[in-house]
Amino acid sequence: MNPRRPAWAWGVVLLGALLAALLASLLLGSVSLAPADVLRALAGRGDRETVSIVRELRLPRALLAVLVGGALALSGAALQALLGNPLADPYLLGVSGGAACGTLVGSLLGLGASAGMRAGIFDALALPFAAFLGALAAVLIVGIGASAGGRLDRGRLLLSGVVVNALASAILLFLLSFGDPSRTQTFVFWMLGSLAGATPGAVVALSVYVALSLALLLPLARAFDALTLGEETAGTLGIRVETAKRTAYVAASLLAAAAVAYAGIIGFVGLLVPHAVRRVTRSHRALLLLSFLGGAVLLVVSDVVARSLFAPAEIAVGAITALLGAPAFLLLLRARP
């Protein structure tokens, strides 16, 4: 990335890339479609099979990929700003593991549907709420471990998160070991990252969670800018540091929990995208918005690859993000001055 290009210009570039990725998502898959057929299907015209493929399967999946990728990248950007650590992400802090536990428990209680099963608006809202409760439990445990004198110690937060993440993994294995084998296999595939359960209801519900989290995080951009100078300096600039830290932590957890509920545990999006965006802007307002767009592009492209590479077989999208993200992140580290 060229750091001399202004942030708004990168926004235009990412929007263009996102539109191209969405078009590819509608065109490619186990059945390739012509652009004219896709346009007719979007308008509700054409043969019934093509309309069904485009409007009921590919469009909700593409939109869900936008929201999930954007949510994960935005969550990672907020956590990295909060901790002042470019290696922080929802997975390392135990948020993803806690959300996966909440999703599994909610699914076992019949609150929603796991990947591949259709759900109404209520179920689509209920399952992410169960994931958020699991993430919130993880957040509370991490917060207790990272608290010192009533303050959230940013240094201890990462270590506490690693421990809680290991605990969440153990709980998941324990619950899965007593489950029905066929259901367990489905859930394990979902945990690797899958957008196969995308529905219009899921898109609408996740939009609610993303909008709420954006409403909480964007006003904190000035606080994030100030925190780069240190907590004491931020306090002298009029920032309510503890309130900002806790609000950012909860909002980032909400984003990660909702993303995990719909798509499983997808790595590297929350780590790689904010790290890359930080090379072109120092403003956290631009960082948050560009991270959302970058995460959306990365996950839509990854999902297209997952569906098309060995069609009609489908690869877990989490495996694709890891294959794309790990080399890219290593290159970013080597290029870092």
pLDDT digits (tens, 9 = 90+) for 183-229: 677 777 777 888 887 888 889 888 988 999 899 999 998 988 888 88
Whether residue 82 lies inside any domain: the answer is: yes
Q: Please tell me whether residue 180 adopts helix, strand or coil conformation.
A: coil
Q: What is the rounded CA–CA span in Å between residue 224 and residue 248?
A: 9
| Alpha helix (H) residue ranges in 35-180 | 35-42, 48-51, 59-83, 95-108, 121-146, 154-177
Mean pLDDT of 146-174: 78
**Tokens describing residue 282:** 């120092």
Distance from the first to the final alpha carbon of the chain: 14
Q: What is the rounded CA–CA span in Å between residue 158 and residue 90?
A: 10
Mean pLDDT rounded to a whole number for the chain: 81
Residue 328 has a pLDDT of 76
Whether residue 2 lies inside any domain: the answer is: no
Categorize the per-residue pLDDT at 299 as very low, low, confident or very high, splitting at 50, 70 and 90: very high
Whether residue 1 lies inside any domain: the answer is: no
Q: Please tell me whether residue 10 adopts helix, strand or coil conformation.
A: helix
Task: Give the chain's domain count.
Answer: 1
Mean pLDDT of 243-251: 85
Dihedral of CA atoms 187, 189, 195, 198 in degrees, nearest 10, equals -30
Whether residue 30 lies inside any domain: the answer is: yes
**Tokens describing residue 156:** 């201890």
Assess whether pLDDT exceeds 50 at residue 121. no
Mean pLDDT of 255-266: 84
- Which pTM was predicted? 0.85
Whether residue 46 lies inside any domain: the answer is: yes
Categorize the per-residue pLDDT at 120 as very low, low, confident or very high, splitting at 50, 70 and 90: very low
Expressed as residue numbers, the domain containing 220 is 8-335
Residue 119 has a pLDDT of 43
Highest mean pLDDT, choosing among 21-30, 145-154, 172-181: 21-30
58-82 pLDDT, tens digit each: 999 999 999 999 999 999 999 888 8
Nearest to 301 by CA among 214, 225, 199, 195: 195
Q: Which domain CATH number covers 142?
A: 1.10.3470.10
Q: What are phi and psi of 218, to 5 degrees?
A: -60, -40
Categorize the per-residue pLDDT at 113 as very low, low, confident or very high, splitting at 50, 70 and 90: very low
Residues in Cβ contact with 192 at an 8 Å cutoff, skipping those fewer than 6 apart: 264, 265, 316, 318, 319
Assess whether pLDDT exceeds 90 at residue 179. no
What are the distances in angstroms from CA 13 to CA 7, 8, 16? Answer: 10, 9, 5
Whether residue 270 lies inside any domain: the answer is: yes
Quickly tell me which residue has 């995460």 as its tokens.
Answer: 295
Residues in Cβ contact with 229 at an 8 Å cutoff, skipping those fewer than 6 apart: 237
